[in-house]
C-alpha cells in the first residue's frame, strides 16, 4: 500500500470496536485484470490468472494493513438487476467481457472459499447493494467498516464509522475516503453524493448526464438548494441555459437518482456477526495456487501471514525436529562406523558445490536405523576411511537413500567415488507420487510426509544440538537431513506402491538420473570464437534494427519503452488499435504480427526483427558465459520439472535454441566435437507423439498412414479432404499437421483456430471432419477423459500417473483445463518415457560393445552422442536398433540419425 505509517494513525476507526472489511470482488478483480498483462500470467494450459494474482496480492496487502476482525467479499451475479429492469440501457454501453477475464472470478471464489472467507452474490442486486446492506447493519451493531471498491457511488455510505478505500493506481494504492475527504474532493457531504451523481450522470453505467452540466455545476446546485429533492421542487429557479437543460432532462435525472441510491436492506443468508475471520484451510489454499501455477513465494507468504489461524499454527507446529545419535567422525573413525552401520539402509546428505562442470564435497552425513548418524569432512579422511567409504558407495548390496541423487553422483565423481545401490531418491519419488506439486525441496517434503521440520531436536542421553559451536551446529543440521531422507525413503516406498510407480522409479528414473549425471559431467565442446562472432552479429542486427526503426518514423525513440511505442504506433502513425490494456494498447509480439498484416508500414516488421535478434543475442551471450575451463558446456538436466515426465535443462537451457530457423542452426554450429573424438551423432524419433496416439487409439486408418511409407501429413490430408495425395497442397498439409499435433497436445478448436489463423467455426469443422475419418482417435480422446474423470488420473504406457482432480470441478475453466491435460499427459508422457528407455538402452549397448562413444545431450526428442574414432558405423547401427526397439508400438518407431563435426551438421 502507498499509505504511510503516519497516515494509518489517522484512521477513523476505534481500537475497541470490531472492524468489518467489505470488498467489491468483481470491481477489484476487473481492475487487477487490466493492471497486469494476461500474457505474463497464464498457466501451461492457457488459463489466464492475472486477475486472480492481482486480486490475491491486493487482498493480502489490505488484510495486512487494515487487520479487520470481520471480512466478506461481494460479487455481481449478472447485469440483470433491478436497475436494468427499471432502465434497460443501464450499463448497456459496456463492452463484452474479455475472454481472458471470463472464469477468473469463479477461481477467485475458490481461493476465498479455501481462506474460509464469506462471499455474497444475490440475484437481482449488485455487489454495491450487498455491501451497503452489510455496512448499514454493521455500523448499527457497533462496528467500524472499511469498504474496498472501485465504485465511487460507494461514497454515499461514508460516515464517521464507514470508510471507503478507493484504488487510485491499479490495485496497489488505496485512497482513504472519510467524510472529510469526500467533502474536500467534492464539496459535498457523503449523504449528498447520490444527488450529485444523479446530476452528473455516469458514462460507465450509461446513465445520461445533463448537457452543459459538469461536476462543478452539479455540486454548486446541491449546495445551493440543499438536496436533489429541493432542487427538483424549485427547478424553475435555476437560471440560464443549464437550468433549461436541467428542466428538459428532469425525468432522466430523477431516474438516475433512483438508480444511484444503494439498497440497504437486501435479504442475506448471513448476519454481520457471522463474518468473523476464520483460519484458512492452508492445504486448500496451496492447492488452488498450485493448480493455477501461481508460484510466487512472496504472494504465498503474504497470504499465509494474514491467516487468522497462523498464530495458532505457529503455537502448535509440526514436530520441530528429530533427535539422532549424532557423531562427528574424525580421521580413522569413518571405516569403523561404516563397518557397524553400513549393512542396513543409510540416508546420505551432503554439502557440496558445483559450477561450470566442476565441484567438490565439503560435508557428508549418514543416518541409519535407530537414530544413529554420523558426519565427517571428506578432506580429513585417512587412507583406510577413504577406501572404506569408496567401497561402501560402490557396493550395490549396500542400500542407500538420497535426495536428488543425480547431483550427488555428479559431484562425488570429482573425488573418484561412484555410487551404486541407490534404492530410493526421495525427490524423484515425490515427483512420481505427485508430479504437479510446486516444490520437491527436502524441507517441504519433510513437513508434508513426516510432519516435522528440518531442525535438530535434543533428546535425553543424546547429543544436545544447538549448544556447540557453529561447525557442530552445521554437522547436526546435516545429520538431521540425512535422517529425514532415510525416513522419507520409507514413507515413499509405500506411496509409490499405492500409485503403481515403484517399477518406474527403479527401472527408469533412477537409472536415468545415473546416466544424466555422467552426461552433465561430459558436457559438450563449444566453439567459443564462433559463438562470440554470433553474439556480435546479433548485437549488430539489434543496432541496425534500432536505426531502421528511427528512420521509419523520422526521429529517435526507445524501442524498449511500451509507452513510447504506443505513442509512435497509435499516435504519430495512427496504426490500427490493438488489444486495450490498463497501460494502453498492447505492443506484444502477437500485436506486432497483427499490425504487420494490417498495415504496409515497416515499423511492426522492424520491431519483430529487433526483438528476435535481441533474444538470440541474450541466448548466445548465456551460452558463452557457461563455457567451462575445459572448453565444454555442462548443462543441468531436470527430471522433476515437467509433470508429463519430459526432461528439461538449465544453465544453459538448450531448449531455448531455435531448431527450425537459420539463426538457430547457426548457433548449433557452435556445439562441436571434442578433442579425442571423431564426430557428433544426433538421433531422434520421427513424429513420436503421433505414433503414440495411433498406438493408444488403435485407429486403423492412422496406423495404416504410418505404415504405408508415405508422407504422414499428406496421406492424412488426402483422407480428411477427400482428394488424391497428389492434389494435397501445402496449405492442406499445414492444417492437418497442426490438427494432428494439436490433438496430441489437447488443443481445442479455439486453440487450433489461433494456430491456423482461421475462425473457430472453421477449425471445428476441420476437427469434426478429421474425427469422421479417424473415429478411433475421437473415441480414444473421449475415453481417456472419461476414464481420468472416473479414476482421478491419467496414465502412460509405463504407468506414469498425472492426477487431475479438476476434471470434476464445477468451474468450467478449471474443468476444461484439466481435460486438456488429460488428453495430453498419456501421449506426451509415454513419448517421454520412450526417450528415457531409449537413452538407457543406447548407453548400455555402448558399454556392452566396449565402445568409447558416449551420450552428451537429450533435447526435445533428440539424443546427441560424441563418437570415438572409427566407431561411427557401429554406433549408428546400435543407436538405430536400441531406439527403434525401446518399446513396441502398433505404429512402429522411426529413427533418424545424422553425423557431423558440429550439432548442426549432424542434423538429419
Q: Are both 268 and 370 inside the same structural domain?
A: no
The larger pLDDT score, comparing residue 720 to residue 375, is at 375
Residue 44 has pLDDT above 90, yes or no: no
Greatest CA span in the chain, whole angstroms? 110
Q: Are both 176 and 273 inside the same structural domain?
A: yes
Categorize the per-residue pLDDT at 452 as very low, low, confident or very high, splitting at 50, 70 and 90: confident
- pLDDT at residue number 95: 56
- pLDDT at residue number 739: 82
Helix residue spans in 332-445 (DSSP H):
334-341, 383-394, 405-412, 426-433, 442-445
User: Residue 336 domain-assigned?
Assistant: yes
User: Residue 510 domain-assigned?
Assistant: no
Q: How many domains does the chain have?
A: 4
Look at 173-187, 489-503, 627-641, 840-854 and tell me which has the smallest mean pLDDT: 173-187
Residue 778 has pLDDT above 50, yes or no: yes
- Digit-coded pLDDT (tens) for 815-848: 888 888 888 889 999 999 999 999 999 999 999 9
Classify the C-alpha dihedral 477-481-484-490 as positive or negative.
negative
* HSE, side-chain direction, 13 A CA sphere, residue 782: 6
- pLDDT at residue number 688: 92
Categorize the per-residue pLDDT at 198 as very low, low, confident or very high, splitting at 50, 70 and 90: low
Q: Are both 284 and 353 inside the same structural domain?
A: no
- Digit-coded pLDDT (tens) for 510-565: 999 999 999 999 999 999 999 999 999 999 999 999 999 999 999 999 998 888 99
> Coil, helix or strand for 442?
helix
Highest mean pLDDT among 257-271, 364-378, 454-468, 669-683: 669-683
Residue 7 has pLDDT above 50, yes or no: no
For residue 165, the surrounding DSSP H or E stretch is strand 162-169
Report the alpha-carbon distance of residue 130 to residue 267 in Å, rounded: 9
For the segment 338-363, the average pLDDT, to the nearest whole number, is 92
Residue with cell 502412460: 796
| Parallel/antiparallel/unpaired status of strands 119-120 and 325-328 | unpaired
Look at 33-42, 226-235, 738-747 and tell me which has the smallest mean pLDDT: 226-235
- pLDDT at residue number 464: 37
Residue 766 has pLDDT above 90, yes or no: no
Report the alpha-carbon distance of residue 53 to residue 295 in Å, rounded: 10
- pLDDT at residue number 361: 93
Categorize the per-residue pLDDT at 880 as very low, low, confident or very high, splitting at 50, 70 and 90: very high
Look at 232-236, 391-395, 429-433 and tell me which has the smallest mean pLDDT: 232-236
Q: Are both 293 and 344 inside the same structural domain?
A: no
Categorize the per-residue pLDDT at 1 as very low, low, confident or very high, splitting at 50, 70 and 90: very low
Highest mean pLDDT among 139-143, 303-307, 496-500, 842-846: 842-846
For the segment 293-315, the average pLDDT, to the nearest whole number, is 75
Backbone angles phi, psi at 270, to 5 degrees: -130, 145
633, 654, 689: which is the final residue of a domain? Answer: 633
User: Residue 318 domain-assigned?
Assistant: no
- Digit-coded pLDDT (tens) for 602-627: 999 999 999 999 999 999 999 999 99
- pLDDT at residue number 438: 67
For the segment 104-122, the average pLDDT, to the nearest whole number, is 90
Residue with cell 536405523: 369
Report the alpha-carbon distance of residue 757 to residue 594 in Å, rounded: 11
Query: Could you tell me the CATH number of the domain that includes residue 539?
Result: 1.20.1060.10
Percent of the chain having pLDDT more than 90?
46
Report the alpha-carbon distance of residue 410 to residue 432 in Å, rounded: 22
Q: Are both 281 and 389 inside the same structural domain?
A: no
Closest by CA position to 322, among listed 376, 377, 372: 372
> How many whole angstroms from its chain centre is CA 724?
45
- Digit-coded pLDDT (tens) for 400-432: 999 999 999 999 999 999 999 999 999 999 999
The larger pLDDT score, comparing residue 460 to residue 680, is at 680
Report the alpha-carbon distance of residue 466 to residue 474 in Å, rounded: 9
User: Residue 584 domain-assigned?
Assistant: yes
Residue 507 is given by DSSP the state I
Which residues, listed in sequence order, are joined to residue 632 by a DSSP beta bridge?
Answer: 525
Backbone angles phi, psi at 712, to 5 degrees: -60, -55
Report the alpha-carbon distance of residue 158 to residue 151 in Å, rounded: 13
> Coil, helix or strand for 766?
helix
With b for 16 or more beta-carbon neighbours within 10 A and e for fewer, the 168-206 pattern comes to eeebeebebbbbebbeeebebbbebbbbbbbbbbbeebe
633, 666, 686: which is the final residue of a domain? Answer: 633
- CA R_g for the chain: 33
Q: Are both 414 and 376 inside the same structural domain?
A: yes
Percent of the chain having pLDDT more than 70?
87
Report the alpha-carbon distance of residue 60 to residue 301 in Å, rounded: 9
Query: Could you tell me the CATH number of the domain that includes residue 342?
Result: 3.30.420.10
Q: Which domain holds residue 622?
A: 524-633
- pLDDT at residue number 345: 95
- Average pLDDT value for the chain: 85
With b for 16 or more beta-carbon neighbours within 10 A and e for fewer, the 624-648 pattern comes to bebbeeeebbbbbbebbebbbbbbb
For the segment 29-38, the average pLDDT, to the nearest whole number, is 81
Q: Are both 133 and 19 inside the same structural domain?
A: yes
Residue 232 has pLDDT above 70, yes or no: no
Query: Could you tell me the CATH number of the domain that includes residue 162?
Result: 3.40.50.1010
Categorize the per-residue pLDDT at 311 as very low, low, confident or very high, splitting at 50, 70 and 90: low
Categorize the per-residue pLDDT at 461 as very low, low, confident or very high, splitting at 50, 70 and 90: very low
599, 616, 633: which is the final residue of a domain? Answer: 633
Q: How far is CA 279 from CA 73, 117, 283, 313, in A?
A: 16, 9, 12, 9
Please enumerate in sequence order all residues whose Cβ is within 8 A of that of 504, keeping only pairs 6 or more positions apart, or say none.
432, 798, 799, 800
- pLDDT at residue number 400: 97
Residue 217 has pLDDT above 90, yes or no: no
Angle formed at CA 660 by CA 882 and CA 691, multiple of 5 degrees: 40
- Digit-coded pLDDT (tens) for 569-607: 999 998 888 877 666 788 888 888 888 888 889 999 999
Q: Are both 342 and 417 inside the same structural domain?
A: yes
Q: Are both 494 and 353 inside the same structural domain?
A: yes
> How many whole angstroms from its chain centre is CA 708?
41
User: Residue 445 domain-assigned?
Assistant: yes
Report the alpha-carbon distance of residue 778 to residue 783 in Å, rounded: 9
User: Residue 114 domain-assigned?
Assistant: yes
Closest by CA position to 797, among listed 810, 784, 809, 806: 784
User: Residue 832 domain-assigned?
Assistant: no
- pLDDT at residue number 235: 66
- pLDDT at residue number 153: 84
Question: Are 46 and 91 a contacting pair, CB within 8 Å?
Answer: no
Q: Are both 147 and 38 inside the same structural domain?
A: yes
Cell of 838: 531409449
With b for 16 or more beta-carbon neighbours within 10 A and e for fewer, the 775-813 pattern comes to ebbbebbeebbeebeeeebbbbbbbbbbbbebbebeeeb
- pLDDT at residue number 9: 35
User: Residue 311 domain-assigned?
Assistant: no
Q: Are both 573 and 704 inside the same structural domain?
A: no
Whether the model pTM is above 0.85: no
Question: Are 375 and 326 a contacting pair, CB within 8 Å?
Answer: yes
Q: Are both 270 and 124 inside the same structural domain?
A: yes
Question: Are 54 and 33 a contacting pair, CB within 8 Å?
Answer: yes
| Parallel/antiparallel/unpaired status of strands 580-581 and 584-585 | antiparallel
Residue 377 has pLDDT above 90, yes or no: yes
Report the alpha-carbon distance of residue 172 to residue 192 in Å, rounded: 29
| Number of helical H runs and strand E runs in the chain | 37, 25
Amino acid at each position: 500500500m502507498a499509505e504511510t505509517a503516519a497516515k494509518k494513525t489517522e484512521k477513523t476507526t476505534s481500537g475497541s470496536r470490531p472492524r468489518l472489511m467489505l470488498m467489491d470482488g468483481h470491481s477489484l478483480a476487473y481492475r487487477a485484470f487490466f493492471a497486469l498483462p494476461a500474457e505474463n500470467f497464464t498457466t501451461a494450459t492457457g488459463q489466464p490468472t492475472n486477475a486472480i494474482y492481482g486480486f490475491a496480492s491486493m487482498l493480502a496487502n489490505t488484510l495486512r494493513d487494515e487487520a479487520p476482525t470481520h471480512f466478506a467479499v461481494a460479487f455481481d451475479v449478472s447485469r440483470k438487476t433491478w436497475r436494468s429492469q427499471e432502465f434497460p440501457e443501464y450499463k448497456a454501453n459496456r463492452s463484452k467481457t474479455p475472454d481472458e477475464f471470463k472464469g477468473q472470478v469463479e477461481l477467485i471464489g475458490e481461493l476465498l472459499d479455501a481462506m474460509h472467507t464469506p462471499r455474497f452474490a444475490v440475484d437481482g442486486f449488485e455487489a454495491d447493494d450487498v455491501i451497503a446492506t452489510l455496512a448499514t447493519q454493521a455500523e448499527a451493531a457497533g462496528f467500524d467498516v472499511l469498504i474496498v471498491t472501485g465504485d465511487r457511488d460507494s461514497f454515499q455510505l461514508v460516515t464517521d464509522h464507514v470508510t471507503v478505500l478507493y484504488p487510485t493506481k491499479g490495485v496497489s494504492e488505496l485512497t482513504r475516503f472519510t467524510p472529510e475527504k469526500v467533502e474536500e474532493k467534492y464539496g459535498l457531504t457523503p449523504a449528498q453524493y447520490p444527488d450529485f451523481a444523479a446530476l452528473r450522470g455516469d458514462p460507465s453505467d450509461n446513465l445520461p448526464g445533463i448537457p452543459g452540466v459538469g461536476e462543478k455545476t452539479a455540486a454548486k446546485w446541491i449546495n445551493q438548494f440543499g438536496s436533489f429533492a429541493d432542487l427538483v421542487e424549485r427547478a424553475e429557479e435555476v437560471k440560464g441555459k443549464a437550468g433549461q437543460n436541467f428542466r428538459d432532462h428532469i425525468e432522466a435525472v430523477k431516474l438516475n437518482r433512483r438508480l444511484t441510491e444503494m439498497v440497504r436492506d437486501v435479504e442475506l443468508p448471513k448476519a454481520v456477526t457471522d463474518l468473523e475471520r476464520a483460519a484458512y484451510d492452508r492445504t486448500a489454499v496451496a492447492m488452488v495456487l498450485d493448480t493455477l501455477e501461481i508460484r510466487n513465494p512472496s504472494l504465498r507468504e503474504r497470504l499465509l501471514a494474514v491467516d487468522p489461524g497462523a498464530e495458532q499454527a505457529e503455537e502448535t507446529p509440526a514436530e520441530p525436529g528429530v533427535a539422532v545419535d549424532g557423531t562427528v567422525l574424525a580421521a580413522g573413525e569413518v571405516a569403523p562406523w561404516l563397518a557397524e552401520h553400513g549393512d542396513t539402509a543409510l540416508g546420505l546428505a551432503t554439502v557440496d558445490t558445483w559450477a561450470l562442470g566442476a565441484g567438490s564435497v565439503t560435508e557428508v552425513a549418514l543416518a541409519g536405523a535407530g537414530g544413529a548418524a554420523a558426519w565427517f569432512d571428506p578432506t580429513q579422511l585417512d587412507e583406510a576411511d577413504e577406501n572404506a567409504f569408496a567401497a561402501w558407495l560402490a557396493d550395490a548390496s549396500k542400500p542407500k537413500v538420497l535426495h536428488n541423487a543425480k547431483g550427488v553422483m555428479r559431484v562425488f565423481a570429482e573425488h573418484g567415488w561412484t555410487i551404486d545401490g541407490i534404492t530410493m531418491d526421495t525427490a524423484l519419488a515425490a515427483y512420481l507420487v505427485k508430479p504437479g506439486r510446486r516444490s520437491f525441496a527436502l524441507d517441504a517434503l519433510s513437513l508434508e510426509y513426516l510432519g516435522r521440520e528440518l531442525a535438530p531436536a535434543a533428546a535425553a542421553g543424546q547429543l544436545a544440538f544447538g549448544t556447540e559451536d557453529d561447525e557442530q551446529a552445521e554437522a547436526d543440521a546435516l545429520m538431521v537431513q540425512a535422517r529425514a531422507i532415510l525416513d522419507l525413503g520409507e514413507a515413499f516406498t509405500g506411496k509409490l506402491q499405492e500409485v503403481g510407480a515403484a517399477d518406474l522409479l527403479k527401472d527408469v528414473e533412477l537409472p536415468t538420473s545415473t546416466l544424466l549425471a555422467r552426461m552433465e559431467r561430459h558436457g559438450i565442446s563449444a566453439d567459443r570464437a564462433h559463438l562470440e562472432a554470433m553474439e556480435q552479429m546479433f548485437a549488430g542486427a539489434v543496432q541496425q534494427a534500432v536505426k531502421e526503426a528511427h528512420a521509419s518514423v523520422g526521429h529517435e525513440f526507445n524501442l524498449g519503452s511500451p509507452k513510447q511505442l504506443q505513442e509512435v504506433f497509435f499516435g504519430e502513425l495512427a496504426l490500427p488499435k490493438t488489444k486495450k490494456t490498463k497501460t494502453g494498447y498492447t505492443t506484444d509480439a502477437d500485436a506486432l504480427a497483427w499490425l504487420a498484416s494490417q498495415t504496409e508500414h515497416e515499423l511492426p516488421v522492424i520491431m519483430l526483427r529487433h526483438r528476435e535478434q535481441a533474444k538470440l543475442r541474450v541466448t548466445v551471450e548465456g551460452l558463452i558465459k557457461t563455457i567451462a575451463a575445459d572448453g565444454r558446456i555442462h548443462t543441468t538436466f531436470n527430471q522433476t520439472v515437467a509433470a508429463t515426465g519430459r526432461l528439461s535443462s538449465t544453465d544453459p537451457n538448450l531448449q531455448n535454441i531455435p531448431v527450425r530457423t537459420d539463426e538457430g542452426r547457426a548457433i548449433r554450429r557452435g556445439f562441436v566435437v571434442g578433442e579425442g573424438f571423431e564426430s557428433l551423432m544426433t538421433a531422434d524419433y520421427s513424429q513420436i507423439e503421433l505414433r503414440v496416439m495411433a498406438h493408444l487409439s488403435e485407429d486403423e486408418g492412422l496406423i495404416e498412414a504410418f505404415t504405408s511409407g508415405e508422407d504422414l501429413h499428406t496421406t492424412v490430408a488426402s483422407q480428411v479432404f477427400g482428394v488424391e495425395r497428389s492434389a494435397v497442397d501445402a496449405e492442406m498439409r499445414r492444417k492437418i499437421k497442426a490438427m494432428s499435433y494439436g490433438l496430441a497436445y489437447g488443443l481445442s478448436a479455439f486453440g487450433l483456430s489461433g494456430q491456423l489463423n482461421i475462425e473457430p467455426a472453421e477449425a471445428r469443422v476441420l476437427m469434426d471432419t478429421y474425427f469422421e475419418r479417424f473415429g478411433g482417435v475421437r473415441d480414444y480422446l473421449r475415453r481417456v477423459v472419461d476414464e481420468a474423470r472416473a479414476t482421478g488420473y491419467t496414465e502412460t504406457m509405463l504407468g506414469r500417473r498425472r492426477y487431475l482432480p479438476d476434471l470434476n470441478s464445477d468451474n468450467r475453466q478449471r474443468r476444461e483445463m484439466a481435460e486438456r491435460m488429460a488428453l495430453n499427459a498419456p501421449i506426451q508422457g509415454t513419448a517421454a518415457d520412450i526417450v528415457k528407455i531409449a537413452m538407457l538402452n543406447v548407453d548400455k549397448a555402448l558399454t556392452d560393445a566396449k565402445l568409447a562413444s558416449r551420450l552428451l545431450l537429450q533435447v526435445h526428442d533428440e539424443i546427441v552422442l560424441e563418437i570415438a574414432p572409427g566407431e561411427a558405423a557401429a554406433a549408428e547401427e546400435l543407436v538405430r536398433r536400441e531406439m527403434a526397439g525401446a518399446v513396441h508400438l502398433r505404429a512402429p518407431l522411426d529413427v533418424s540419425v545424422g553425423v557431423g563435426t558440429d550439432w548442426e551438421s549432424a542434423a538429419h
